[in-house]
Amino acid sequence: METGTVYFFTGLAGAGKTTLGGLFYRRLKARKPNVFCMDGDAMDGVFPRTGYSTAARLKDAKAQFRLCRALALQGIDVVMCSISMYDEIRDWNRANIENYREIYIKVTRDTLYRRDQKQLYSSGAKEVVGVDLPYDEPKAPDAVVENDGQETPEVIVTRLEMQFGLADGA
């Protein structure tokens, strides 16, 4: 059985992980039946948060990526959209997931504050990654997407499909 690929869309809250990852998933799903999408926020019902401390966040991310690995081993492609803010998680993924692709959705702080859909940056909330909690910026992603609004999600995802050999005729 062919091993599936895990496509990990990472970046800070409001960067566009869910938008871009969701579109990537829908296009991938149109090509092949065995595709699963995991969004960090939507996974709370499957993996209830154990807390917001560094230890709890690491534990939660490890559980989610163990599931990604298990699905990939069954030949299922996984599109994962999550902050997973620590190098330790991304290092584990690279060491333990055979077909792992990391897509860093990078935006400026101005863009994050302007988008602020969840009011994380303007509300004075505590324990916000990239504000009062550290974020280990990905050091060796397979793709870096500058998502400050210069390109549409469709253009960005088409470029990712071409980069990963998924575009029609690739």
Q: Tens digit of pLDDT for each residue in 59-103?
A: 888 999 999 999 999 999 999 999 877 899 999 999 999 999 999
pLDDT of residue 69: 97
Report the distance separating Cα 77 and Cα 59, nearest Å: 23
Q: How far apart are CA 32 and CA 155, in angstroms?
A: 21
Residues 45-57: pLDDT tens digits? 566 666 677 788 8
Residue in the structure block whose two tokens are 């210069």: 150
SS3 35: strand
In angstroms, the CA 40 to CA 44 distance is: 7
Does the structure show a pLDDT above 90 at 21? yes
Q: Identify the CA nearest to 76 among candidates 85, 67, 84.
A: 67
Continuous H helices in 14-53? 17-31
Calculate the alpha carbon distances from 136 to 11, 49, 90, 148 in Å: 10, 20, 10, 20
Measured CA to CA, the distance from residue 85 to residue 61 in angstroms comes to 9
